[in-house]
Structure 1
Amino acid sequence: MKLVKFGLGAAAMALIATGANAQGGPTLNTVKERGTLLCTGHDGSYLGFAEVDDKGAWTGLDIDLCRAVATAILGDPAKATVIPISWAQRWPALQSGEVDLVVKASGATLSRDAELGLQFSLSYYLGTTKIMAHKSLGLSSLADADGGTICIPAGTTQQQQIASYTQKLGITLEPVIIEKTEELEQAYFSGRCDLYTQWGPVLAIARAAKGNVDEHDILPDVLALEPEVIVMRSGDDNWIDIANWTLSALWFAEQEGIDSENVDEIKADPPSPEIAKFLGVNPGMGTPLGLSDDWAYNVIKQMGNYAEIFDRNLGEGSPYKMDREMTALWKDGGVLYPYLID
């Protein structure tokens, strides 16, 4: 079975567990035998999503989602191995088996699906592609920037998005294509580029990190709305199911008020059969996926629910203080929702 690949607006589907799934698919079995989950990291810092500190430790939303999947499978977030890979090399690395998952702020696109033969999870973050400009230029929108220079991250959807958008506006910009995020931001903030196009959250974080918010405008233009997804090789439905159910577990726990602090108390006295099954008190949560029945409990106990993960990496518990906006639960006005547990 091939799940719906496009993100947060897709209707939740009932996942039918087969006998093959109960034994685990080929990727799951490989990960279990290896004893570690191989995930993409960034070849540098992508603040809030993947960062490396001066001791070589990884943090970020993308990193924690990789660790959540590792915990679901192997019971320990430390069994996630993060491999730094450039934007352009993430697909060859996935296709060759160098990594098991791409969790790298990657959007779901037709070409990646139909031409590269990749499959996507549900979306874990919904963001817009925006443009930042030096305030001194006095721009009110991108239409005022004809003839300017624009920094664009190499190997990303932003290259096509800016090309399409400028064509629609009838303006010409000189692109400056750079691979590494740090070098890209240095080019913009040093004045080499008039403009900088990126995923909106990255622009906001970069501007805040520089400490000179008032010197840079994020223009009102929206180039694209992009659902960020976990990307996997095609042909292993069990692996797609595991990624989707891991995300769903993070959202279900948040919805039900289950977090890393109270999960043991709730497990000791579950308020409903649904939650009893979710936490592994009653059987059935893991076997259909080839996992232990307490896999979701392990994830929430060690990684927290989605709100906890978001808060420590991007929200109030982070240096970036970002709002959830559309990436909130349905009950809070956002677009995230969990699958049903029956």
Structure 2
Amino acid sequence: MRISKSHFQVAAGVAAVVLAGMALTSAPAMAQQGKSALDAIKERGNLRCSAHNGSFAGFFEVDDKGNWKGFDIQFCKALATAILGSPEKVTYVPLSWAQRFPSLISGDVDVVFKATGWTLSRDTKQKIDFSLPYFMGGFQFMVPPSSGIKSGKELNGATVCTAAGTSIEPVLADFMATEKVKFKVVTYEKSEEERSAYESGRCDAMAGWGPSLAVARAQQKGLATHTILPITLTLEPIGAALRQDDKRFRDVVGWTIAAMIHAEEIGISSANVDTVRSQVAANPTANPGLAKFLGVQKGLGAELGLSDTWAYDVIKKVGNYGEIYDRELGAGSPYRLDRGLNRLWKNGGLIYSPVFD
């Protein structure tokens, strides 16, 4: 975030008063002032990326060996690969939903990949920016089969549990006002607590992000017969959240996401990228755009402050968009979640890449 000299002097004075008599052990936010996160990540040698204070199955969860996995985690890995050349150069910072924006603004994390919807209030009031959307999902209700409920309008008088610190709370308030129904909303900091409340019958319904409800239903045998109501409360584009006024880093994040999508669009995957690159290298003038995209010819990296092979590295080491979807959420995962709106635009979905030129 860029600040004027006078603002810096005021901030420094306030900080001096607050910190008087205290040992200053770290100040990530101060270290970021006047510097792009891209430079800080390169100097530090690792990316600080959001994770979750618990498990959010399919999107960010810890495996039995203590490693982070999930759809959103793959974008952390891809970004680290684009900047630093390795998907392992990531420090994952577990955060609750409510902590993600304060932690981002303070500099505790460089970027938030955490099922974060792009909304007007977040974009204008939170001092954050959003990347190109990398997922589409709506808010829905899930109810037990014994309830007989077929629509959200039938929840009048019910107790509905949901996650604290997310955008669904105002959405639920709008729904009640619009549909003239009233129900009690109970929020939980951790997904495990929310699910336990719902499964034990303390909540009549669970309101949440439709894809995560579907993953929870697939994951828990006790939820297999539960119904996710067809009415979507609202559709949210999910993007990475970044600190405001850092165009250099926003470009890197956005084009990293775009590269993964573009690779799927043109049929390049981790399995065939070396073959395609070798073919292009043999005659780069036959397809100069692809030659630049795969780092055979110079040009794609310098514009972003990255190596010329950054897109090739991401595809090779992490995969294209379709690969990570299938691996973490789709046919290759325990959840087998249909891509739906997250198909490529040319396959009837809403996922697209800007033009690489």
| TM-score, normalised via structure 2 length | 0.87
Identity of aligned residues (%): 48
Unpaired stretches in structure 1, ≥5 consecutive residues: 1-24
Matched, 1:154 2:169: no
TM-superposed deviation, 1:221: 2.2
Matched, 1:108 2:114: no
Map residues 284-303 of structure 1 onto 2, 5 A cutoff: 284-303=299-318
Give the structure, 1 or 2, with the largest relative contact order (CA under 8 Å, sep 6 or more). Answer: 1
Q: Which has the higher strand share?
A: 1
Q: Which amino acid aligns with 1:341?
A: F
What residue is the counterpart of 1:245 in the other structure?
Answer: 255
Q: Deviations over 1:46-74 (max 9, x none)?
A: 11100112321100010000110000000
Residue 49 of structure 1 contacts residue 61 of structure 1 at CA under 8 Å; is this kept in 2? yes
TM-superposed deviation, 1:252: 1.0
Secondary structure of the residue aligned to 1:300 is helix
Q: In the aligned structure 1, how far is the partner of 2:219 from the partner of 2:201?
A: 17
TM-superposed deviation, 1:276: 0.6
Map residues 204-223 of structure 1 onto 2, 5 A cutoff: 204-213=214-223, 215-223=225-233
- Count of residues in correspondence between the two structures: 318
TM-superposed deviation, 1:328: 1.2
Query: Please, which of 311, 319, 330 is the counterpart of residue 304 of structure 1?
Result: 319
| C-alpha RMSD of matched pairs (Å) | 1.1
Map residues 136-215 of structure 1 onto 2, 5 A cutoff: 136-213=146-223, 215=225
What residue is the counterpart of 2:345 in the other structure?
Answer: 330
Bigger Cα Rg: 2
Q: Which runs of 4+ in 1 moved over 4 A?
A: none
Residue 218 of structure 2 contacts residue 224 of structure 2 at CA under 8 Å; is this kept in 1? no
TM-superposed deviation, 1:145: 1.6
Q: Deviations over 1:189-248 (max 9, x none)?
A: 111100000000111111111124553111122211011100000111011100110011
Higher mean alpha-carbon deviation, 94-103 vs 218-227, is at 218-227
Map residues 256-295 of structure 1 onto 2, 5 A cutoff: 256-270=266-280, 272-295=287-310
Q: In the aligned structure 1, how far is the partner of 2:356 from the partner of 2:122?
A: 31
Secondary structure of the residue aligned to 1:289 is coil
Matched, 1:38 2:48: yes
Q: Deviations over 1:104-151 (max 9, x none)?
A: 000011111111111000110001100001111111112112111000
Secondary structure of the residue aligned to 2:132 is strand
What residue is the counterpart of 1:26 in the other structure?
Answer: 36
Q: Which amino acid aligns with 1:89?
A: Q
What residue is the counterpart of 1:76 in the other structure?
Answer: 86
Q: Which amino acid aligns with 1:273?
A: P
Matched, 1:131 2:160: no
TM-superposed deviation, 1:175: 1.3
Secondary structure of the residue aligned to 1:102 is coil
Matched, 1:59 2:69: yes
What residue is the counterpart of 2:128 in the other structure?
Answer: 118
| TM-score, normalised via structure 1 length | 0.91
Q: In the aligned structure 2, how far is the partner of 1:311 from the partner of 1:245?
A: 21
Q: In the aligned structure 2, how far is the partner of 1:244 from the partner of 1:164?
A: 31
Residue 136 of structure 1 contacts residue 215 of structure 1 at CA under 8 Å; is this kept in 2? no
Q: Deviations over 1:63-87 (max 9, x none)?
A: 0001100000000000011110111
Residue 216 of structure 2 contacts residue 223 of structure 2 at CA under 8 Å; is this kept in 1? no
Unpaired stretches in structure 2, ≥5 consecutive residues: 1-34, 281-285
